[in-house]
Structure 1
Amino acid sequence: MWKEVNQYSLNWRAEQNSGIIWLKLADGTDVSIEPDSIEELAALGDILRNEKPIHYNTDNRDLSTSWELVGEGES
């Protein structure tokens, strides 16, 4: 089921060389994503920081932005 992401937190565990992203969904639930690398953490952080709205699928664990027109810039 698709749910809107309201808040997020990026965490990098330097000693373990691993990261975790916490998402707070519109229904109040928290979910986590564990990226495979610091580059993936940075890319997902960029999406979360710069795109609106963001949705998360609790069934297949997909993160998605909404449709945008080609060439549309951020306002």
Structure 2
Amino acid sequence: MTKPGQTLYPNDNDKHGTNVNLIRTLENNDMAWKQVIKYWLGYNIDQKQFLFYYQLDGEATINQIKPSAADFAGLADMFRNEGPIHFETTGRYFTTAAEDVGEGE
């Protein structure tokens, strides 16, 4: 369901054959969605810091974030168990593909 001021735009099929629906605001339709094609999980022993790397479709850059332990666990769970994963480059957030309500794992 969309929120007031938003609409749902179907994005037929991406290059992997996945049907994806993306929500974009009507007032500001410049959201940039990119599919995450690879991710890596890491931990720096000396700094006691979790590391999360990801690469977006069409880009050579490997992006790095240093999440908290709780955020790292959530990201690892999402990326291991869901797919495809997209990244919204304007708002800087990850999202999974839509699932039917009540869908079991």
TM-score normalised to structure 1 length:
0.83
Q: Is 1:34 aligned to 2:66, yes or no?
A: yes
1:13: Cα distance to partner?
A: 1.1
1:53: Cα distance to partner?
A: 0.8
CA distance in structure 2 between the partners assigned to 1:73 and 1:26 by the alignment: 29
Q: Where does residue 81 of structure 2 map in the other structure?
A: 50
Superposed CA offset, 1:26-75 (max 9, x none): 1124222221x22221210110011011001222210111111111124x
Compare CA radii of gyration and give the structure with the larger one: 2
Structure 2's unaligned 5+ residue stretches are: 1-31
Question: What fraction of aligned residue pairs are identical, expressed as a percent?
Answer: 40
Q: Where does residue 43 of structure 2 map in the other structure?
A: 12
Name segments (4+ residues, structure 1) moved above 6 Å.
none
Secondary structure of 2:75's counterpart equals: helix
CA distance in structure 1 between the partners assigned to 2:58 and 2:81 by the alignment: 22
Number of residue pairs the alignment of both structures matches: 73
| Structure (1/2) with the larger helix percentage | 1
CA distance in structure 1 between the partners assigned to 2:46 and 2:70 by the alignment: 17
Q: Where does residue 10 of structure 2 map in the other structure?
A: none
- Provide the aligned C-alpha RMSD in A: 1.4
| One-letter identity of the residue aligned with 1:31 | N
Structure 1's unaligned 5+ residue stretches are: none
